[in-house]
Amino acid sequence: MLKRLALAISLTALTGCGVAYISPKVSDAGDDVRVLKLTADSVRVANGAPYRPKELPAVFFANAGSGGGMSAGGGGPAPSIDRQNRPANMEIRLLPEVNPGPYEIGVGDVLLLATKTAGNNTVEELSGLLAAQNARQGYTVQDDGAIAIPDVGRVRLAGLTLEEAEAMLFQRLVENQIDPTFSLEIAEFNSKRVSLGGAVGNPTVVPVGLTPLTLDAALAAAGGIATSDLDYASIRIYRDGTLYQIPLNEYLSRPNVQKSRLVDGDSVFVDTEYELARAQAYFEEQIRLAEFRQGARVQALNALNSEVTLRRNALDESRDNFRAQMEMDAVDRDYVYMTGEFRTPSRFALPFGREASLADAMFETGGYTTEKANPNQLYVLRGSPEPGRPDLVTAWHLDASNASNMILATRMQLRPNDVVFIAEQPITRWNRALQQFVPSLITSGAALSQ
């Protein structure tokens, strides 16, 4: 009995001396370790250490439409509108009054021609002229300015008013010995148009017909003005190389301005970006797009799409290769090492292109539990940058038992090869010591009992 008691006392003494269990800790007993309390001032000092985060490869910042080598018609005009500042005032340039005269028939217009029918004649018994009209539901003015009428031939009507066109048709019907009793109407107006864009409900193209097309009617056809910024919005009209400007407030307050007459070829742009150059760029872009479409547009766009697809596939492949290298740990990375009583001791990879804080590393790796870890003993260990003292270590001490000090953890920027260490709770140390020597004590006691 006395032997077992002496053995227990001996093991307890050894444990108290740290022989049975040794736990890691940070000590500044020597000259090679400096322990500094982590405060707002010391955080600024620690963050002053020079460091440039590693960057992602340039392939992650490229896009399939950038760089040289693009063919296929140049890909169209480049964007022409930049961010602008609001001006102090806006210049007013009103549209001049115009009177283009009676409507002139143009290419693309659809004409409805009807002749006189006699008695109860069926459609089959009508003249060739009327039968053709019924079958086609009108005649479209073709690119040479003429319409083709059965038994009459081609009659050029482009550039004529309705009255002049009727006189022309009357003469041709008489020449071909056809009853010249007829009526002529324009069923579809396609040759004269006004385009509307910008801050409108539905950008569109509005045809110009027999009745004058006014500015308010054209805007209504485009869904109205779609902007809440009345003070700095304006309406720009591009006509024959000249740009006119009407501030929106001026337009709304003057009925005569709302009734400004538009003519074929006008372009209307509701602008909310404050500068005349923006609208000018818009119309120039429309002109360039129209010129671009006149060529082999379909072939050019197909070639451009193919080139973009090839570039996109090459970029995706390069990015996938880089990700695969990262998964196989074949990429040079900067790491911070998490040790001690963290939930998962591990290494934390510093991110590309930005710095990471102590809080980032702690929570990305799972943090710690207060059952085992001592939040009062949290350290960031950093080697000395001084060439003459490579063995010098600075230990930035954070007392995380005060939750308000975690703000400092969000500001403390980590550097490559930093070691973040958190010590164990005293009770944890004692429990681990017991786990080591109690089995030995039981074994020894069993041996003595024999």
Do 184 and 237 sit in the same domain of this protein? no
Do 439 and 337 sit in the same domain of this protein? yes
Last residue of a domain, one of 138, 154, 188: 188
Last residue of a domain, one of 148, 173, 188: 188
pTM of the model: 0.44
pLDDT greater at residue 227 or residue 196: 196
pLDDT of 259 reads: 92
Do 213 and 165 sit in the same domain of this protein? no
**Percent share of the chain, pLDDT over 90:** 28
- 263: domain CATH number? 3.10.560.10
φ, ψ dihedrals at 284, nearest 5°? -60, -40
Q: Retrieve residue 140's tokens.
A: 């479209």
Do 90 and 236 sit in the same domain of this protein? yes
Least confident of 188-197, 204-213, 289-298, 324-333: 289-298
What band does 214 get if pLDDT is binned at 50, 70 and 90?
very high
Instruction: State pLDDT tens for residues 240-289.
Output: 889 999 988 888 899 999 999 999 999 999 987 555 556 566 677 667 76
- 42 dihedral zone (left: phi>0; alpha: psi -120 to 50; beta): alpha
pLDDT of 79 reads: 45
Do 425 and 338 sit in the same domain of this protein? yes
Identity at 337, one-letter amino acid code: Y
Q: How far apart are CA 421 and CA 382, in angstroms?
A: 11
Q: Is residue 319 part of a domain?
A: no
Query: 236 pLDDT exceeds 70?
Result: yes
What band does 219 get if pLDDT is binned at 50, 70 and 90?
very high
Query: 10 pLDDT exceeds 60?
Result: no
Cβ contact 73:304 at 8 Å? yes
What band does 298 get if pLDDT is binned at 50, 70 and 90?
low
Least confident of 30-44, 195-209, 224-238: 224-238
Query: 207 pLDDT exceeds 90?
Result: yes
Q: How many domains does the chain have?
A: 3
CA 204 distance to own-chain centroid? 25
Do 373 and 436 sit in the same domain of this protein? yes
Q: How far apart are CA 379 and CA 35, in angstroms?
A: 9
Least confident of 65-69, 104-108, 293-297, 399-403: 65-69
CA distances from 105 to 15, 160, 182, 212, 441 (A): 110, 6, 18, 15, 114
Least confident of 24-28, 31-35, 214-218: 24-28
- Segment 8-21 mean pLDDT: 50
Q: Classify strands 213-214 and 267-271 as parallel, antiparallel or unpaired.
A: unpaired
| Mean pLDDT over the full length of the chain | 79
pLDDT of 447 reads: 60
Query: 5 pLDDT exceeds 60?
Result: no
> H helices of 207-259, where?
215-221, 248-253, 255-258
Cβ contacts of residue 327 below 8 Å, gap of 6+?
none
CA 425 distance to own-chain centroid? 50
Query: 18 pLDDT exceeds 60?
Result: no
pLDDT of 446 reads: 60
Do 212 and 91 sit in the same domain of this protein? yes
- In 10 A of CB 94, how many CB atoms? 15
- Segment 408-416 mean pLDDT: 93
Q: How far apart are CA 145 and CA 133, in angstroms?
A: 18
Q: Retrieve residue 400's tokens.
A: 């995380």
Query: 87 pLDDT exceeds 60?
Result: no
Q: How far apart are CA 214 and CA 231, in angstroms?
A: 23
Q: Is residue 69 part of a domain?
A: no
Q: How far apart are CA 17 and CA 106, in angstroms?
A: 108
Q: Which range of residues forms the domain containing residue 95?
A: 85-99+192-274
Last residue of a domain, one of 188, 209, 225: 188
Least confident of 61-65, 249-253, 336-340, 392-396: 61-65
Do 91 and 226 sit in the same domain of this protein? yes
Q: Classify strands 419-424 and 335-340 as parallel, antiparallel or unpaired.
A: parallel
What band does 439 get if pLDDT is binned at 50, 70 and 90?
low
pLDDT of 130 reads: 45
3-state secondary structure of 289: helix
pLDDT greater at residue 255 or residue 181: 255
Angle between helices 297-327 and 276-294 (to 10 degrees): 110
Helices (H) and strands (E) in the chain, counts: 12, 18
Give me the residues paired with residue 347 across strands. Answer: 337
Q: How far apart are CA 9 and CA 323, in angstroms?
A: 59
**Percent share of the chain, pLDDT over 70:** 74
- Segment 64-78 mean pLDDT: 52
Q: Classify strands 335-340 and 346-349 as parallel, antiparallel or unpaired.
A: antiparallel
Q: Is 317 buried (19+), middle (13-18) or exposed (0-12) by CB count in 10 A?
A: exposed
pLDDT greater at residue 280 or residue 320: 320
Do 346 and 359 sit in the same domain of this protein? yes
pLDDT of 346 reads: 92
pLDDT greater at residue 435 or residue 43: 43
